[in-house]
Amino acid sequence: MSPSATKISPSLPVAIGELDIYLFGQGKHWDLYRVLGAHPHDGPEGPGYRFAVWAPNARAVSVVGDFNGWDADACPLFPVAASGVWAGYLPGFAKGELYKFAVTRKDGHTVLKTDPFALFAEMRPGVASRSWTLDDYAWNDAAWMDTRREKGLPLDDAISIYEVHPGSWRWKTKDYGSFYSYRDLAETLVPYVRDLGFTHIEFMPLAEHPLDESWGYQTGHYFAPTSRFGTPEDLRHLVDVCHQNGLGVILDWVPGHFPKDDWCLGRFDGTGLYEHEDPRQGEHPDWGTYIFNFGRHEVRNFLFANALYWLKEFHIDGLRIDAVASMLYLDYSREEGEWIPNKYGGKENIDAIEFLRDLNVVVHEHFPGAAMIAEESTSWAGVSRPVYTGGLGFTFKWNMGWMNDTLDYFAKNPVHRSYHQNQLTFSMLYAFHENFILPLSHDEVTHGKGSLIGKMPGDQWQQMANLRLFLSYMWAHPGKKLLFMGCEFGQWKEWNAREELDWVLTEFPSHQGAMELVRALNALHKSFPAMHASDNEWTGFEWVDLSDYASSVITFLRKAPDGSQILWNFNFTPIVREDYAVGCRVPGYWREIYNSDSELFGGTNTGNGGGVMAKPTTFGGWPYYLPLTLPPLAAVAFTPE
């Protein structure tokens, strides 16, 4: 028992306001995490903690921990009216103590459950909640937050995202588990990402999870930042430092499903409380998890409050919603007879659709400028279109089609690419149907898929050239950018969450060249409005030539509202193309502003001597043309002066 055990008496009733109960019942209590859970409380017997938990079908609920020998009879909670909430107050209970709820079901069986609203938890393999506080951090990012709020949604911004799994980015020693803390990451990750020129860091899920191998996608504590890397205040410090260095922070969030472990949300009071009772609606067959009951007000409120919690209490700039497709379809990954049609006989999950729409409306109302990002892999229409037009209301959608087609194309030997050029050009048929992010995420470089550079054909030089060409094409293509850690320097082995990145590679010139290329691409992306200002509309893009299949060459323009433009040329073969004619409208000198074959990046330095003069012609209906030298397996970009 803890030293405080002698001063803690059985819990006393704590009043919860009628308005709190009403809003919770309506599913609209945005600060629910300040009512339910464990919070400091100065009661009639002195300071302690008040507890409140929703368990409407329980026979009894109590607080247990080291402080009372885990005795389920020692510190009972009391029902609050007919709300389904149990509450109480423990004088003498201190910050940092471990606790759980002992929930007695109707059958008389008592199980120990973690607090769904716990603000902190013990380090794995333990799963107990840890009493904590919300307001012990002084922020220093007011300028960033004010600017974000005033600007609104970043649809026309130059956004390039560095995706990070903090448990394997870098270690203190070579031993697994010697993770960098949140504060270590503030000192190392932030300057690294800023130096490369990225605008945002996206963290894979940081909510507490007991299994490292789940990467955070099987969340155990939705309101508790994982203790692997420090305290909640340490995470706030990391976000604060990001903002002070001009970096936004995006957090992966998992509202679609949760693990079945008997200590967390599943069958919380002996019934399907947070999930559907019927496994055809309440269980995910692929992941062995429960699915939230999106039609229940209290469950919707739990998720609404959780999303707002990360945005409000941790100043997160955006949430990337995992596995949206699994939420939208009742028959997702199910055979006939394994799912229940909706009330109209269809396969659309109406409750989940309404939840996502309402979620996006609530977030955008409360936090103008915060981005909601959907990882949605189907052709569902209007994912990133406003709710009032019939869309789901997300800010951005991951372009999974672009990712799959482009990776498949680059994996082909250049001699065969001429037969598959449509894999590159097809994406432009739908490029502006949504507000897209082009993702090269962790999912593409793990579980037997190999590393990004490992997908490239040819000898080592050609593989590095193909990597530089792939990244160039990605940055030139309309859409925001997302790159997983390690891809920026061409890590050879596929990502393993139990190994740190191969940082030794960054000592070699070819890998340093890949990093220098990423710096150049990010600088170009920010500096030229043509690269981002009209990312989501046809006015920002124009094909120059997509028909030269035989040479595996494509050319297009990126254009800005002010009339400025950048001409991009891609040679997807190792053959140097000399005096290659490319049409243009603007006479005069076109300056070469980018060449992925530069020796600075590890290339052969084949190029155009800094630029070329446009020549008059009727070539292809263009009034002028540029006689270009196209380097091997390379991209070159020009702008008129």
Q: Model confidence over 49-85: pLDDT tens digits?
A: 999 999 999 999 999 999 999 999 999 999 998 899 9
Q: Say yes or no to pLDDT of 129 above 70.
A: yes
pLDDT at residue 26 tops 50: yes
pLDDT at residue number 14? 72
Q: Which residues, in sequence order, are bridge partners of residue 202?
A: 163, 250
Residue among 560, 551, 492 nearest 531 (CA): 560
Return the pLDDT at 12. Answer: 66
Q: What is the rounded radius of gyration, in angstroms, for the C-alpha atoms of the chain?
A: 27
- Tell me how far apart the alpha carbons of residues 217 and 200 are, in angstroms, rounded to a whole number: 21
Q: Look up residue 245 and give its two tokens.
A: 């260095």
Task: Compute the distance between CA of residue 235 and CA of residue 238 in angstroms, rounded to an integer.
Answer: 5
Q: How large is the average pLDDT for residues 480-500?
A: 97
597-628: pLDDT as tens digits = 999 999 999 999 999 999 998 878 899 999 99
pLDDT, one tens digit per residue, over 186-212 is 999 999 999 999 999 999 999 999 999
Residues that are catalytic: 322, 375
Give the CA distances from residue 130 to residues 116, 355, 430, 489, in Å, rounded to whole numbers and listed in that order. Answer: 12, 30, 48, 40
State the DSSP code for 496. -
Question: Following DSSP, what letter does each residue of 279-318 receive, concatenated?
Answer: HHHHEETTTTEEEB-TTSHHHHHHHHHHHHHHHHHS---E
Residue 214's pLDDT is: 95
Mean per-residue pLDDT for 417-438? 96
Average pLDDT across the chain, whole number: 95
Please give the Cα distance from 88 to 39 (Å, whole number): 11
* Structure confidence at residue 4 (pLDDT): 43
What is the sign, positive or negative, of the torsion defined by CA atoms of 109, 85, 226, 328? positive
Which of the 8 DSSP states describes residue 122? P
Calpha distance 432→435 (Å, rounded) = 7
The span from the CA of 101 to the CA of 85, in Å, is: 13
Least Cα distance to 122 among 149, 155, 98 occurs for: 98
Q: What angle do CA 420, 421, 422 make, to 5 degrees?
A: 90
Amino acid letter for position 276? H
Question: Confidence class of residue 567 from pLDDT cuts 50, 70 and 90?
Answer: very high
Residues in the chain: 641
Closest CA to 581 of 541, 546, 630: 630
Distance CA 355, CA 378 (A): 19
Distance CA 223, CA 244 (A): 25
Which domains are present in the chain?
Answer: 3-130 (2.60.40.10), 159-398 (3.20.20.80), 412-435+460-482+515-641 (2.60.40.1180)
The pLDDT, as a whole number, for residue 463 is: 98
Is the pLDDT at 7 greater than 60? The verdict is: no
CA–CA gap between residue 421 and residue 495 (Å, rounded): 29
- Provide the 8-state DSSP code for 9: P
d(CA 435, CA 431): 8
Q: Residue range 128-140: average pLDDT? A: 96
pLDDT (0 to 100) of residue 9: 58
Which of the four pLDDT bands, split at 50, 70 and 90, describes residue 507?
Answer: very high
Percentage above 90 pLDDT, the chain: 95
Average pLDDT over residues 382-405: 97
Instruction: State pLDDT tens for residues 285-328.
Output: 889 999 999 999 999 999 999 999 999 999 999 999 999 999 99
For the sheet containing 565-571, what is the strand order?
A: 541-545, 553-559, 565-571, 634-640, 589-595, 611-613
The pLDDT assigned to 10 comes to 64
Tokens of 226: 């994982």
Bridge partners, residue 249, by sequence? 201
Contact 281, 330 (CB under 8 A): yes
Beta bridge partners of 591: 611, 639
Contacts of 406 (CB under 8 A, 6+ apart): 423, 424, 427, 470, 473, 474
User: Is the peptide bond preceding residue 116 cis, with omega within 30 degrees of 0?
Assistant: no
- pLDDT at res. 16: 83
- pLDDT confidence of residue 2: 42
**For the residues 415-423, what does the mean pLDDT come to?**
96
> Rounded to the nearest 10 degrees, how much is the dihedral formed by the CA atoms of 373, 374, 379, 382?
-50
User: Residue 78: exposed, middle, or buried by beta-carbon count in 10 A (0-12, 13-18, 19+)?
Assistant: middle
Asked whether the beta carbons of 425 and 563 are under 8 A apart, the reply is no
For 248-272, how does the pLDDT look when each residue is reduced to its tens digit (9 = 90+)?
999 999 999 999 999 999 999 999 9
Residue type, 80: V
Q: Is the dihedral of CA 204, 208, 238, 154 positive or negative?
A: positive
Is residue 6's pLDDT more than 60? no
> Is residue 255 exposed (0-12), middle (13-18) or buried (19+ Cβ within 10 Å)?
buried
pTM greater than 0.85: yes
